[in-house]
């Protein structure tokens, strides 16, 4: 069945035709591992995972590369400020390597909790310094880069056109350009490929330009070239990467290989919190851990993200998460009813459901539409194992583990001990102590429920 993807490059939906029928090659810009990933970051990762799963549903094999940025991503995308890794290392009093290892592990823990598949190749920037240096040398040799006293810059005026993804008009921008950090830059949109390290800089490598370190954009060009070749099928990322990072990747590839590296550019929209931005100052930066702490299965967030197309803004609210939690329960119950059902359903009915689901996911990953079909199957009046099997097939795309029971929540030992002490106090009619222990249990996030069979605790949601 035909697949259509919206391509940011051409600004329209296009039929997807891979360069190689047997294997689809994808590059995704991965995390900068200097802090916890937020549920916003995870929305982008879920979108990328759905893309993978939809391609596999269509029978394709994948070679998917995701980088881990552990050097060179400065605080501002305009080549200004400190390296994010170094800033975090300084603030947390750790080495950049410790910071990278710590946050990389947390990132992969989140992916696992969300049932997000690990790409075939995961590669770290610091493991590819040689490839990046070679790339920069090639750009210099091809006349696309120049040296200043602080860095090696890409010269955007050497390209036939810079800004094809975001439609920037260089002439308009020039007049209103901001004050540059480096006065030796030739054009406002020139960007750093390689940065000369000040003395005492923690992460630096020898280069023809002295001790220095890579800019952020060069790592993706060097690693995609190494693992996927000069041109591959799909490049993905969050929408914020379009105007700078992805424009610069395209510029680099054109300068080094004369080609736009990917044929289809797919971008996920942002997750909003209560209609606005997630920001530290508003105190509304949520991690997946926050959702888990409130007692939800993390896959509830995955299901929540299907309430909206990946190219539209999605508004996060706790009410939304609560509704998604109930929906996930209903999905699991519905699946079980079909599994135990003994009625027969016409093959045409099953095929029609399958066909509509397949059409929806192939239409630029239309998950809200696909979920509509899933609910029709769940609610279908005849309960049949054929439909349970169909739901399991759909779940290869949904990734919701609809056939797995939720693990019963483990009550921590500390709470069970407190509960025992409270029972004892009650037996001894020591009501003050019993009340104190109940309040203490509450402080620790659990509510005590008394019944004729004794006391139990429940996590406060
Ligand atoms: P950052 O941690 O801001 O560098 O973000 C890492 C990646 O996650 C970015 O490239 C974005 O594409 C994506 N991202 C960040 N915030 C959000 C958000 N609120 N919603 C969706 N994607 C996001
Ligand atoms: Zn990238």
Q: Give the pLDDT band (50/70/90) at residue 168.
A: confident
Measured in angstroms, how far is the CA atom of residue 435 from the centroid of ligand 2? Answer: 56
Q: Among all ligands shown, which has an atom nearest to the Cα of 311?
A: 1
Q: What's the pLDDT at 94?
A: 84
Return d(Cα 319, Cα 374) in angstroms, integer: 22
Q: Among all ligands shown, which has an atom nearest to the Cα of 40?
A: 1
Largest CA distance in the chain: 87
Measured in angstroms, how far is the CA atom of residue 445 from the centroid of ligand 1? Answer: 31
pLDDT digits (tens, 9 = 90+) for 393-411: 999 999 999 999 876 666 7
Check whether 175 has a pLDDT greater than 50.
Answer: no
Q: What's the pLDDT at 174?
A: 53
- Residue with CA at minimum distance from ligand 1 atom 12: 238
Q: Give the pLDDT band (50/70/90) at residue 170.
A: confident
Check whether 54 has a pLDDT greater than 80.
Answer: yes
Q: What's the pLDDT at 63?
A: 98
Return d(Cα 393, Cα 2) in angstroms, integer: 19
User: What integer is the mean pLDDT of 50-77?
Assistant: 91
Percent above pLDDT 70 for the chain: 95
Atom of ligand 1 nearest to the CA of 273: 19
User: Is pLDDT larger for residue 86 or for residue 184?
Assistant: 184
Atom of ligand 1 nearest to the CA of 241: 10
- Asked if residue 214 has its Cβ within 6 Å of ligand 1, the reply is no
Atom of ligand 1 nearest to the CA of 41: 8
Lowest-pLDDT range, 109-118, 177-186, 319-328, 362-371? 177-186
Measured in angstroms, how far is the CA atom of residue 30 from the centroid of ligand 2? Answer: 7
- Retrieve residue 107's tokens: 């990132």
The region, left, alpha or beta by phi > 0 then psi within -120 to 50, assigned to residue 30 is beta
User: Is pLDDT larger for residue 456 or for residue 408?
Assistant: 456
Check whether 412 has a pLDDT greater than 90.
Answer: no
Q: Give the pLDDT band (50/70/90) at residue 176.
A: very low
- Asked if residue 256 has its Cβ within 6 Å of ligand 1, the reply is no
Check whether 250 has a pLDDT greater than 90.
Answer: yes
Q: What's the pLDDT at 234?
A: 98
DSSP state string for 23-59: EEEEEE---BTTSPPPHHHHHHHHHHHHHHHHHHHTT
Element holding 138 (H helix, E strand): helix 129-141
Lowest-pLDDT range, 148-162, 194-208, 384-398? 194-208
Return d(Cα 245, Cα 361) in angstroms, integer: 28
Q: How far apart are the first and last CA of the chain?
A: 44
Q: Among all ligands shown, which has an atom nearest to the Cα of 268?
A: 1
Q: What's the pLDDT at 173?
A: 56
User: What integer is the mean pLDDT of 163-168?
Assistant: 88
pLDDT digits (tens, 9 = 90+) for 66-75: 999 987 677 6
- Asked if residue 30 has its Cβ within 6 Å of ligand 1, the reply is no
- Asked if residue 74 has its Cβ within 6 Å of ligand 1, the reply is no
- CA 47 from chain center: how many Å? 7
DSSP state string for 347-367: HHHHHHHHHHHHHHHHBT--H
User: Is pLDDT larger for residue 258 or for residue 197?
Assistant: 258
Q: Give the pLDDT band (50/70/90) at residue 180.
A: low
- Asked if residue 85 has its Cβ within 6 Å of ligand 1, the reply is no
User: Is pLDDT larger for residue 66 or for residue 22?
Assistant: 66
Measured in angstroms, how far is the CA atom of residue 4 from the centroid of ligand 2? Answer: 23
Check whether 298 has a pLDDT greater than 60.
Answer: yes
User: Is pLDDT larger for residue 186 or for residue 79?
Assistant: 186
Lowest-pLDDT range, 68-82, 138-152, 280-294, 365-379? 68-82
Q: What is the mean pLDDT of the chain?
A: 92
pLDDT digits (tens, 9 = 90+) for 234-245: 999 999 999 999
Measured in angstroms, how far is the CA atom of residue 241 from the centroid of ligand 1? Answer: 9
User: What integer is the mean pLDDT of 193-213?
Assistant: 90
Return d(Cα 171, Cα 263) in angstroms, integer: 27
Nearest Cα to Cα of residue 170 among 236, 235, 247: 247
- Asked if residue 363 has its Cβ within 6 Å of ligand 1, the reply is no
Q: In the block, which residue shows the tokens 């790339």?
A: 135
Ligand 1: residue of 238, 284, 301 to mutate (most ligand atoms within 8 A of CB) is 238
Measured in angstroms, how far is the CA atom of residue 387 from the centroid of ligand 1? Answer: 37
């Amino acid at each position: 069945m035909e697949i259509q993807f919206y391509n940011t490059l051409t600004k329209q939906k296009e039929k997807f035709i891979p360069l190689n029928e047997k294997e689809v090659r994808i590059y995704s810009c991965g995390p900068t591992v200097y802090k916890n990933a937020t549920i916003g970051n995870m929305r982008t990762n879920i979108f990328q995972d759905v893309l993978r799963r939809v391609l596999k549903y269509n029978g394709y094999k994948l070679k998917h590369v995701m980088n881990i940025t552990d050097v060179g991503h400065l605080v501002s995308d305009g080549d200004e400020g400190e390296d994010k890794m170094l800033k975090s290392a300084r603030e947390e009093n750790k080495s950049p390597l410790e910071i990278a290892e710590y946050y990389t592990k947390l990132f992969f823990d989140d992916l696992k909790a969300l049932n997000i598949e690990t790409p075939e190749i995961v590669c770290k920037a610091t493991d590819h310094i040689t490839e990046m240096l070679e790339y920069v040398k090639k750009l210099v040799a091809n006349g696309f880069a120049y040296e200043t006293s602080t860095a090696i810059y890409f010269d955007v005026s050497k390209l036939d056109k810079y800004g094809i993804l975001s439609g920037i008009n260089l002439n308009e921008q020039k007049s209103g350009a901001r004050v540059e950090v480096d006065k030796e830059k030739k054009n406002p949109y020139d960007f750093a490929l390689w940065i000369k390290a000040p003395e005492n800089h923690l992460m630096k490598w020898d280069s023809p330009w002295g001790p220095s370190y890579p800019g952020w954009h060069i790592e993706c060009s060097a690693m995609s070239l190494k693992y996927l070749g000069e041109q591959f099928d799909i490049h993905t990322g969050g929408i914020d990467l379009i105007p700078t990072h992805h424009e610069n990747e395209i510029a680099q590839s054109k300068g080094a290989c004369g080609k736009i590296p990917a044929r289809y550019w797919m971008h996920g929209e942002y997750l909003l919190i209560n209609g606005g931005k997630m920001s530290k100052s508003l105190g509304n930066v949520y991690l997946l851990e926050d959702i888990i702490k409130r007692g939800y299965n993390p896959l509830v967030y995955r299901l929540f993200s299907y309430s909206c197309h990946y190219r539209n803004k999605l508004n996060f609210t706790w009410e939304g998460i609560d509704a998604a939690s109930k929906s996930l329960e209903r999905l699991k119950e519905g699946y079980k009813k079909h599994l135990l059902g003994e009625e027969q359903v016409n093959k045409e009915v099953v095929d029609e459901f399958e066909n509509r689901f397949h059409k929806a996911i192939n239409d630029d990953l239309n998950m809200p539409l696909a979920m509509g079909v899933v609910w029709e199957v769940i609610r279908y009046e005849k309960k049949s194992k054929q439909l349970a099997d169909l739901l399991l097939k759909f779940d290869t795309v949904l990734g919701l583990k609809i056939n797995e029971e939720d693990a019963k929540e483990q009550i921590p030992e500390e709470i069970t001990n407190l509960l025992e002490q409270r029972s004892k106090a009650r037996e001894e009619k020591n009501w003050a102590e019993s009340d104190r222990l109940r309040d203490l249990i509450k402080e620790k996030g659990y509510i005590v429920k008394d019944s004729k069979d004794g006391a139990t605790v429940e996590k406060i949601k």
